[in-house]
Structure 1
Amino acid sequence: MRKIITGTALVLTAALLTGCGSDDGPRTDDKSANASVKPKPDSGSGEVKHEVTLEVFGHGTSQVYYNLNTNKFEKVKLPWKKTETITFTTDAEKRTGTTVSVVPGSVYKADGTLRAAACVITVDGKKVADNKGGKSDKMCKYDLK
């Protein structure tokens, strides 16, 4: 089971790194997240800033792959949280944006079986993506503009 989940994470990682996938907005059933997040303009500089928080929930340790300002794959202690400010400075960056994502590793359920850990992405204080508390095998992904 662990090999299957690790293999799935690697396939998802490859898809993210090659730019595969669709551009159909946030991955969530939360209807409030379907509205776009309003950018925070920086006073006078023309920069647009967003505070992005990635979270993975559970107990123990797990591996996570995330794409924030950089792509990283690391073993973390759960619950895990990473917050960074993403700044768009050029017109091209503001127009095309970037994708932020987190692929949670596996955690043990009470019955001893493995399942995907729960993940959430928050942008400027608003939840924009989740994986239904780990019930979905999908990663958390959001196209930030």
Structure 2
Amino acid sequence: MKRLILIFLLLAGPVFAVQPSEILSDPALESRAREISAGLRCPVCQNESIDESNAPISHELRVLLRERLVAGDTDEQVVDFLVARFGEFILLNPDRQGANLILWAAAPAMLLIALLVGWLTIRRRAPAEQQLTEAEQAELERILHS
């Protein structure tokens, strides 16, 4: 039973990342804050959103995000403010334009190139159908019937 509780707490850890003191009293603003923070990367954890991370910087970012929402910023203004301050790295899903377009297109392009190279390699190795000469056919018949 203790192991089950420990496993549950380890798996549910990110759920408890947002502290009760951070939660806004206005449910609409809190919902917006959660939606925005789910798309922002923790600078320390790098593969977790700030909503899931327990890192101190994530706490500070969640508080800053909520302060901006309370001040009247739109969702886009909050995200733009954080991107201006931390760079596009903070976005879990960066925009698909400019230099980022190269990154988004690189993986599918590499997959297509790998498939093409593999197909060409297999195609070249396939034996071409060749007919035996009469002498080779006669020799084959002699070997098979002896």
TM-score when normalising by structure 2: 0.21
Structure having the larger proportion of residues in helix: 2
Structure having the larger proportion of residues in strand: 1
Q: Which has the larger radius of gyration?
A: 2
RCO (CA 8 Å, sep 6+): is it higher in 1 or 2? Answer: 1
TM-score when normalising by structure 1: 0.21
